Amino acid sequence: MSTTKKHFPVFLVAALLLLCTACSKKITQTGKASYYADSFDGKRTASGQVFHQNRLTAAHPSLPFGTKLKVTNMANGRTVTVHVNDRGPFAKGRIIDLSKKAAKRLGMVSTGVATVQIKYKKPKKS
């Protein structure tokens, strides 16, 4: 009696993985993060909200205001969830500016800049 097993061709498995990844609603970005100077506390953000260093907020160049981001410090694994309420950063090579509270949670206040990964749900098309 023959006991042959049928296996999926490798290309089919690779195609399924690619399709699942392409359809994923989560987006990931990796790059440098910094945090706001204390002099911005109390000033209006691009969204019209007043900026407060003691809130979990962030500036991103293009994501819609209100987008929730999970930010992970790649050096120590700490994470924080913030929401976008401003535009920036305006320093070359950076992908996000964080409030001081968020920077403290990530353990990056002493370094000022850290490599982070941000994850968020793909914005719905209107």
**pTM tops 0.85:** no
In sequence order, the 6+-apart residues with CB closer than 8 A to the CB of 75 are: 107, 114, 115
| Tokens found for residue 73 | 């410090």
- Residue ranges of domains in the chain, CATH in brackets: 26-121 (2.40.40.10)
With a cut of 50, list the residues of the chain below it in pLDDT: 8, 21
Smallest CA-to-CA distance from 106 within 72, 57, 81 is with: 72
Q: What is the pLDDT of residue 25?
A: 77
Classified as helix, coil or strand, 34 is: strand
73-84 tens-digit pLDDT = 999 999 999 999
Distance CA 91, CA 68 (A): 22
